[in-house]
Amino acid sequence: MTRPQRDDEFRLEIADLAFGGIGVGRHDGFVVFVPDTAPGDVVDVRVRRARRRFADADLLEVVQAGPDRIDAPCPYVPRCGGCRLQHVDYPRQAEAKQAQIAEHLARIGHLPDVEVRPIDHALERFGYRNKMEYSAAPDDTGEFTLGFHQRGRWDRVIGLDACLLATPAGNAVRDHVRAWGRREGIAAYDQREQAGFFRHLVVREGVRSGELLVTVVTAPGGDDVVDSLARELMGEIDGIVGVLHAINDGVAETTQGLPTRIVVGRDWFTERVLDVSLRLSAPSFFQTNTVMTEVLYGRVAEAAGLDGGQVVFDLFAGVGSIGIALGRQAKAVVAIEIIPEAVEDARRNAEANGLVNHRALCGDVGKIMREHREELPRPDVVIVDPPRGGLSGRAVRRVLEVAAPTLVYVSCQPATFADNAARFIEGGYRLDWVQPVDMFPNTPHVEAVARFTMQAGA
């Protein structure tokens, strides 16, 4: 096996898709990763970076397209950093995501024999995102534009005429704000120069309710400018229930944790999932695909197996949607979430849905479970829905300490799930099955629901 060197050019066949939607092939036995390729492609590539065990290469030409390659419907592929799999036929996308979960369990968790069920396919391939975050930047002519960062570039934004993953409302708000910015001569923030005013536009949508919540993120100042935009949006676009103004005076490109004021309307919107009505505040997390969230929650209900007699812990609960959706089949639900606004949403949501058996606590999961262990009931079912980083070591220990007969894990990152799964098995659980759910078609991301059962005598 000969290791290629930087700038080497050669031809290879793509055998599979690795995590992240990147094609993988072998050159003289050496593993080579190539973005923008599909299984079966024969491609010419140039090595960008050579490491000890693998190389990263850039695609020069598709010599022969594989059977799974299609023409990406979006004109911004592959420049845009959002979609990595539009050029791959959907069934092959889904198959790759399912295989990647199994591969991570085997390689990271050392769990090669786990039952990974056939993936639940997305019900909508496009127009499914209920949350859009657009970055502002001057375009090549200096005009105000809104879009997404170019792949691999922190300092360049691709202006969009339409995003195929956004809903019509998500596209309409962006188009209106872009037209306003150009008409009013608004200075878009230039990340390289660290100068300008308008930084981000965030659009959140209740797909079932038709309500929209818009957040404008700017550099300090310009309240009167944003006030004028807010009034215009409220008057021109149906469904907007509130416009917020957040101030980012730092270097980091973020829309989270910023000082925020209500300009017009309110700072929350409503959504409906299954038979549950939800209030969602601006900072609160909610899945970005409403339709597939219902499929996901159905799988959680299957894994939990509630019959009305169980106490449920809903950890990393967000606005309480999972616990509330299952609450009528439970004896009691205890939700724990670290974001105060989300906890308040969870309490309001439980009340609005008539659940008197629901309690929401605010704080770090591991800390709350330790501090309240004497007063909390012993759970029969624990549901965890952590962020991409997975459960911390402390959170894993707290879950193992309560030793619930059933543990349901909702994963959004196969690698951290595999690591956590191995820790739970070491602690006495058996991993019964894993159900992948494709919440994010045309992107590399995948959700999964896993059921663990505490083994007798553990």
Sketch the domain layout of the chain as residue ranges: 9-64, 106-122+289-454, 131-269
Instruction: Say yes or no to pLDDT of 198 above 80.
Output: yes
Per-residue confidence band for 413, with pLDDT thresholds at 50, 70 and 90: very high
pLDDT reported for residue 458: 65
Query: Mean pLDDT, to the nearest integer, of 255-273?
Result: 96
pLDDT reported for residue 211: 98
Same fold flag, 106-122+289-454 and 131-269 = no
Structural fold of domain 131-269: OB fold (Dihydrolipoamide Acetyltransferase, E2P) (2.40.50)
Encoding tokens for residue 352?
A: 């609005």
In percent, how much of the chain has pLDDT > 70? 100
One-letter amino acid of 374: E
Mean pLDDT, rounded, of the chain: 95
pLDDT digits over 229-257, tens only? 999 999 999 999 999 999 999 988 899 99
Query: Mean pLDDT, to the nearest integer, of 346-374?
Result: 94
pLDDT reported for residue 2: 75
pLDDT reported for residue 191: 85
CB 207 within 8 A of CB 290: yes
Per-residue confidence band for 194, with pLDDT thresholds at 50, 70 and 90: confident
Residues paired with 214 in a beta bridge: 203, 243
Encoding tokens for residue 36?
A: 């923008």
Q: What are phi and psi of 217, to 5 degrees?
A: -110, 125
What is the set of active-site residues?
A: 412
What lies within 8 Å, CB to CB, of 189 at 6+ separation is 136, 137, 195, 196, 197, 198, 199, 218, 219
Per-residue confidence band for 415, with pLDDT thresholds at 50, 70 and 90: very high
What lies within 8 Å, CB to CB, of 183 at 6+ separation is none
pLDDT reported for residue 376: 93
Q: What DSSP string describes 106-126?
A: HHTS--TT--BPPPB--S-SS
In percent, how much of the chain has pLDDT > 90? 89
Give the SS3 label for residue 74. coil
Query: Mean pLDDT, to the nearest integer, of 20-30?
Result: 92
pLDDT reported for residue 456: 79
pLDDT reported for residue 3: 82
9-64 in CATH: which number?
2.40.50.140
Encoding tokens for residue 295?
A: 């499929």
Between residues 191 and 218, which one has the greater pLDDT?
218
| Alpha carbon distance 289, 127 (integer Å) | 9
**Which CATH entry fits the domain spanning 106-122+289-454: 1.10.150.20, 3.30.70.100, 1.10.760.10, 3.40.50.150?**
3.40.50.150
pLDDT digits over 173-191, tens only? 999 999 999 999 999 998 8
pLDDT reported for residue 338: 95
CB 120 within 8 A of CB 437: yes
Give the SS3 label for residue 38. coil
Would you tell me the crossing angle of helices 393-402 and 414-426 to the nearest 10 degrees? 40
From the CB of residue 184, how many other CB atoms can be counted at a distance below 10 Å?
Answer: 12
Query: Of 54, 60, 15, 2, which is closest to residue 31 (Cα–Cα)?
Result: 54
| Alpha carbon distance 225, 303 (integer Å) | 50
Query: Of 21, 19, 13, which is closest to residue 90 (Cα–Cα)?
Result: 21
Give the SS3 label for residue 322. helix
pLDDT digits over 124-137, tens only? 999 999 999 999 99
pLDDT reported for residue 1: 64
CB 239 within 8 A of CB 212: yes
Encoding tokens for residue 185?
A: 């001569």
Give the distance from CA 92 to its chain's centroid: 21
Tell me whether strands 131-138 and 54-64 are parallel, antiparallel or unpaired: unpaired
pLDDT digits over 289-328, tens only? 999 999 999 999 999 999 999 999 999 999 999 999 999 9
CB 109 within 8 A of CB 422: yes
